[in-house]
Amino acid sequence: MGPLGKTSYYDGWSFQPEAAIAYLEKRRSPRYSFIASAELIDEKADVRIASRVSELSLHGCYLDMMNPFPKGTLVLVRISAGNALFAAKSKIIYSQPNMGAGVVFLQIEPQSQTSLEHWLDGAEKDNQRQVG
């Protein structure tokens, strides 16, 4: 229970405060606001979904889309921002119908690591400017 015996809420989910903290601490790296075009490809089903990145980290991202793939689906994620491209074999770790999906990067293509690090450096600097 939260203050005054109430349950805490986070992004529409109710948690006991300790569970909410544990949920947030599961991330291995900070997640930053980041807007870019993305495409998810389920190679087994030969299905492509256009999407938009809204949050990015070193190990994954959140993708906005109306009809996300189910949790556990293996996909190829392609992200483009400016002239830079990124591609990684990934896995859907949670799926929210009419909202989007969280993905974890499993295997980042070598030439994509530089783009990811560049985007994260810029996002971190933007975040620091907004905070301080």
Break the chain into its structural domains and give their ranges: 1-29, 31-131
Residue 123 above 70 pLDDT?
Answer: yes
pLDDT in tens, 11-66: 444 444 454 444 444 667 889 999 999 999 998 999 999 999 999 999 999 999 99
* Secondary structure (3-state) at 66: coil
Please state whether 82 falls in left (phi above 0), alpha (psi between -120 and 50) or beta.
left
Query: What pTM value is reported for the model?
Result: 0.77
pLDDT in tens, 75-108: 999 999 999 999 999 999 999 999 999 999 999 9
Q: Could you say which of 2.40.10.220, 3.40.50.970, 3.40.50.300, 3.30.530.50 is the CATH number of the domain covering 31-131?
A: 2.40.10.220
Backbone φ and ψ for 33, nearest 5 degrees, come out as -65, 135
* DSSP state at residue 4: G
* DSSP state at residue 68: P
Residue with tokens 């975040």: 127
